[in-house]
Amino acid sequence: MNAQHAGSNNVSLDLTTDGFTLTYKQRVILRHSDKVPCLWIGAGTADIEMFRGNFSIKDLLREKITLKNITVTAKNNGWVIRFTRADDINATLFISTDQQGRLELRVKNDSPSYNRIWLRLAAQPDDHIYGGGEQFSYFDLRGKPFPLWTSEQGIGRNKKHHITWLADCHENAGGDYYWTFYPQPTFVSTQKYYCHIDNTCYMNFDFSAPDYHELAFWEDNATLRFECADTYIELLEKLTALLGRQQELPDWVYDGVTLGIQGGTDVCQQKLDLMRSSGVKVNGIWAQDWSGCRMTSFGKRVMWNWSWDHERYPQLDKRIQQWDQQGIKFLSYINPYVASDKNLCKEAAERGFLTKDANNLDYHVEFGEFYAGVIDLTNPEAYDWYKGVIKKNLIELGCAGWMADFGEYLPTDTFLYNGVSAEIMHNAWPVLWAKCNYEALQETDKLGEVLFFMRAGYTGSQKYSTMMWAGDQNVDWSLDDGLASVIPAALSLAMSGHGLHHSDIGGYTTLYGMKRSKELLMRWCEFSAFTPMMRTHEGNRPADNWQFDGDSETIAHFARMTSIFTTLKPYIKDAVSQNALRGLPVMRPLFIHYEDDPHTYTLKYQYLFGRDLLVAPVYEEGRSSWTVYLPEDDWISIWTGERFAGGEITVSTPIGKPPVFYRKQSEWCVLFASLRQINS
C-alpha cells in the first residue's frame, strides 16, 4: 500500500498492486482494480431524431472497452493516471485540486476515435442523490438512470398513463420520467459532496447500482469537479459560488399575481379591472400574444415575429405607461426562433444569422404546422442582433418582463457558426439563450427591474436565467406531469444551484380530453402563493380550461391567496435575498435544515419556503384533509394557530387553506400570525 497525498492532504491516492483508491476529504471518490475497474472508453454514433422537441436518442455503439492497467505519475498538484488496455486503447485521468480546494478530475481518451467514456464513482448503498437539474418525477435520483438532454418534458411522462400513450402515438411526445427542459450534470450526495461536470455533451448518470454511480459521456473527454462541506447549506453556498447565483427579483413581483391574458388591449383591461375590483392583488399582465397569433390544431399559437402587433394590441405603448402608473407591469413573450414566413426571419436570413443545414442552406425547424429559423447564437453578430431585438422591441416598448420560451429544440443535424457540433451545443443552447436575455437587461441597466423567466436550462442558467418556470404541466392531477410534479422540480433545481422557481397556475397542456377543473386551478393558486412568483396561464386551449375569472368563488380565492402572498412580501423578499447572497434556494428540501432526520430525505412533495415556512401542497383531487410530516421543531399551523412538535399529522385542508406551518422561533412570527386575519 502506497498512500500519496496532495492539496493540503485533502486528496489522497492509495495505490494497491493492481489499482488505487482516490479519497477526497474522507469521501472515497474512485476505486479501481483489475477486477473492479472504474473506467471504460468506447466509440459510438449518436442516432438522434427530433420531432417538435421530442427526442428519440439511441447510441449505435461500436465499442466499449474496460481500461484495466494503470501507470501513476505524481505531479505538482496531484497525479496523472494513464489507463491502458492495448496500443491504441488508452486514456488519461488528471487528478488535481484548484485554488478553492476543489477536486478536479479530467478524463481524456488518448485516441480521438474513442468518443465515449464511462466512469464509475464509488458509492455507498445508503447514499441519496439529488440534483440533475430540474427533475419532475424523482427527487432522490438513487435507483435509476438519468439521461441528461434538454428537451420537451413530455406529456404525461409515465408510460402507464393513458395521456402519455396518446401523446406517444400522436407525436412521440409522451416522454418519460427523466425528460426535462432543464437537465444539469450536477448532483449532491448525502456524503455531503457535490459533483459537477463541465461538459455539455449527452450524458447518462446511472444511480442504479449500490456501490457505484456510473457516469456516461458521449464525448472524448470529461471534467468533473467535487467539493465537500459539513452542512448542506454550506455545500449549496459552494456549489453556487462555482455556478453563479440569481439576482434578487424585481420588487413588483411580490405585489400580486401576474395575470396571463391573451386577446388584445381591451381584453387585458377588462380582466384586470374585474380582478382588481374584486380585491385581487395584481402586479402585472402577461400577454404572450402581444406579437400576434396563428391558429394550429394544437391551439392558438403566438406569432413568432417578436414585435408588437398593433392590430391585436392597439395603443399598447401608451397603455403600458398607464398601467405602470397603477402598479401594473406588462410582460410579453419571445423565444430564440423566428417564424419562417415573417419579416424578422427574412432579415436574419439575409444577414446570414440562421443556423444551416448540411447543404449550407438555412435550417428551418418544424414547430407544429409552421416552420421557424434558428438564430445562430454562436455567431457573435447574430447574438448581438437578436439581443438588439429584445432591447428594441421588448424593453423599449416598456415590457417589465417576458417569458423567454424554448431553447431545447436545437436540432443535432444543424450546423453552427462556431464550428462545434450541434450535438455538443444542444445542451448549451438554453444558456446561450438565457445569456442573450440577461445581457439585454444588463446593457440597458434593467437587471433587478425587468424579469424574464425560462423553462429551458443547463449549467450557467444559475447566473443568466433570472427566474425559472416549470414549463408545461398537464392541466391535471397526475404525479408525473401535473401539479405535484412542480414540487420535486423546484427542489431538484434547488439542489442544482438554481433557487428561483415558479409554475403556470393551473398548468398548461390541454390536449387529449384534458380540461382544467376549477378545483385544480384553485389548488394550484394556493400552492403558488408559497412560491416566489404567482403567474397564471390560460393553457394552450383556453376555452377547455377553468380560468381565474371563471366565477366569483374563483376570483375570491385569488383575492385571498394574493393577499396572503403580498402579506408575505417582506419574508419572501428576505428568502430571495438569501438565495442571491448565499445560494440558499427559496424553496428548500426539508433535509437541508433537518439533516439528522432520515425521513426528510424521502420527502418529495413537501418543502420549506424560506427557513420558517413548511408547505405541503394538496395535489390530489377532492381532498378535505392532508397528511403532513413535520420534522422535530415547534410548528404552528398558519391557519389555526395550533401547535405541533413534529411527526406525521393529518390536518383539515379546505381550499384556500393548504397545509402550511411556521416555526415558533421564527423572527417572522407576527407576520405569519397576521395571515389568519385575511378573509377566507
Mind telling me the catalytic residues? 405, 408, 472
The smaller minimum CB distance to a second copy, of residues 42 and 401, is found at 42
Q: Shortest gap between Cβ of 60 and a second copy (angstroms)?
A: 10
Alpha carbon dihedral 548, 553, 557, 563, in 10-degree steps, equals 100
For a second copy, the binding residue among 5, 58, 62, 643 (CB under 8 A) is 62
Should residue 40 be labelled a site residue for a second copy when binding is judged by CB under 8 A?
A: yes
CA–CA separation, 664 and 661 (whole Å)? 9
Among 5-13, 79-87, 528-536, 544-552, the segment contacting a second copy (CB under 8 A): 79-87
SS3 575: helix
Among 58-66, 437-445, 524-532, 565-573, the segment contacting a second copy (CB under 8 A): 58-66
| DSSP string for residues in 120-183 | EEE--TT--EEEEE--SS-SS-TTSEEEE-B----SS--TTSHHHHHHHHHHS----TT-BS-E
For a second copy, the binding residue among 22, 38, 65, 235 (CB under 8 A) is 65
Contact predicate 19/34, CB 8 Å = yes
Smallest CA-to-CA distance from 289 within 322, 269, 265, 273 is with 265
Which DSSP state fits 553?
H
For a second copy, the binding residue among 52, 85, 446, 623 (CB under 8 A) is 85
The smaller minimum CB distance to a second copy, of residues 89 and 483, is found at 89
Distance of CA 640 to the CA centre of its chain: 34
The smaller minimum CB distance to a second copy, of residues 58 and 318, is found at 58
Should residue 294 be labelled a site residue for a second copy when binding is judged by CB under 8 A?
A: no
For a second copy, the binding residue among 159, 318, 346, 351 (CB under 8 A) is 159
Among 161-169, 398-406, 508-516, 561-569, the segment contacting a second copy (CB under 8 A): 161-169
For a second copy, the binding residue among 63, 234, 449, 574 (CB under 8 A) is 63
Q: Shortest gap between Cβ of 143 and a second copy (angstroms)?
A: 15
Q: Shortest gap between Cβ of 151 and a second copy (angstroms)?
A: 20
Alpha carbon dihedral 439, 445, 448, 453, in 10-degree steps, equals -30
The smaller minimum CB distance to a second copy, of residues 118 and 607, is found at 118
Q: Shortest gap between Cβ of 168 and a second copy (angstroms)?
A: 7
For a second copy, the binding residue among 1, 8, 86, 552 (CB under 8 A) is 86
Should residue 160 be labelled a site residue for a second copy when binding is judged by CB under 8 A?
A: yes
Q: One-letter amino acid identity for 28?
A: V
Among 83-91, 99-107, 302-310, 426-434, the segment contacting a second copy (CB under 8 A): 83-91
For a second copy, the binding residue among 42, 373, 460, 583 (CB under 8 A) is 42
Q: Shortest gap between Cβ of 221 and a second copy (angstroms)?
A: 21
Q: Shortest gap between Cβ of 38 and a second copy (angstroms)?
A: 13
Q: Shortest gap between Cβ of 544 and a second copy (angstroms)?
A: 23
For a second copy, the binding residue among 22, 38, 48, 89 (CB under 8 A) is 89
Should residue 513 be labelled a site residue for a second copy when binding is judged by CB under 8 A?
A: no
Contact predicate 40/117, CB 8 Å = yes
The smaller minimum CB distance to a second copy, of residues 110 and 633, is found at 110
CA–CA separation, 288 and 465 (whole Å)? 19
CA–CA separation, 508 and 522 (whole Å)? 14
The smaller minimum CB distance to a second copy, of residues 212 and 458, is found at 212
- In angstroms and rounded to an integer, the radius of gyration of the C-alpha atoms of the chain is 25
CA–CA separation, 429 and 328 (whole Å)? 32
Contact predicate 90/111, CB 8 Å = yes
The smaller minimum CB distance to a second copy, of residues 87 and 311, is found at 87
CA–CA separation, 580 and 589 (whole Å)? 18
Whole-number Cα distances in Å, 245 to 197, 275, 360, 519, 579 = 18, 35, 38, 36, 7
Q: Shortest gap between Cβ of 636 and a second copy (angstroms)?
A: 44
The smaller minimum CB distance to a second copy, of residues 41 and 493, is found at 41
Should residue 61 be labelled a site residue for a second copy when binding is judged by CB under 8 A?
A: yes
Whole-number Cα distances in Å, 349 to 334, 385, 572 = 18, 12, 45
Among 56-64, 239-247, 345-353, 440-448, the segment contacting a second copy (CB under 8 A): 56-64
Using CB under 8 A as the criterion, what x/- string covers residues 469-508 for binding a second copy?
----------------------------------------
Q: Shortest gap between Cβ of 159 and a second copy (angstroms)?
A: 7
For a second copy, the binding residue among 10, 33, 66, 666 (CB under 8 A) is 66
Q: What is the dihedral sign for C-alpha 24, 29, 33, 39? A: negative
CA–CA separation, 93 and 221 (whole Å)? 10
Site residues for a second copy, 164-183, by CB under 8 A, read 165, 168-169
Should residue 119 be labelled a site residue for a second copy when binding is judged by CB under 8 A?
A: no
Contact predicate 304/346, CB 8 Å = no
Site size for a second copy (CB under 8 A): 18
Q: Shortest gap between Cβ of 46 and a second copy (angstroms)?
A: 16
Q: Shortest gap between Cβ of 165 and a second copy (angstroms)?
A: 5
Smallest CA-to-CA distance from 417 within 376, 384, 447 is with 376
Smallest CA-to-CA distance from 538 within 291, 256, 262 is with 262
Among 154-162, 234-242, 364-372, 634-642, the segment contacting a second copy (CB under 8 A): 154-162
The smaller minimum CB distance to a second copy, of residues 162 and 318, is found at 162
The smaller minimum CB distance to a second copy, of residues 174 and 430, is found at 174
Element (H, E) at 522: helix 518-528
The smaller minimum CB distance to a second copy, of residues 65 and 489, is found at 65
Q: How many helices (H) and strands (E) does the chain have?
A: 14, 40
The smaller minimum CB distance to a second copy, of residues 90 and 545, is found at 90
Which DSSP state fits 336?
S
Q: Shortest gap between Cβ of 63 and a second copy (angstroms)?
A: 6
Largest CA distance in the chain: 79
Q: Which residues of 369-381 are buried (b: 16+ CB within 10 A; e: fewer)?
A: ebbbbbbbbbbee
Q: Which residues of 102-137 are buried (b: 16+ CB within 10 A; e: fewer)?
A: bbbbbbebeeeebbbbbbbbbbeeebbbbbbbbbbb
Q: Given the rule CB under 8 A, which residues bind a second copy?
A: 40, 42, 61-66, 85-87, 89, 159-160, 162, 165, 168-169
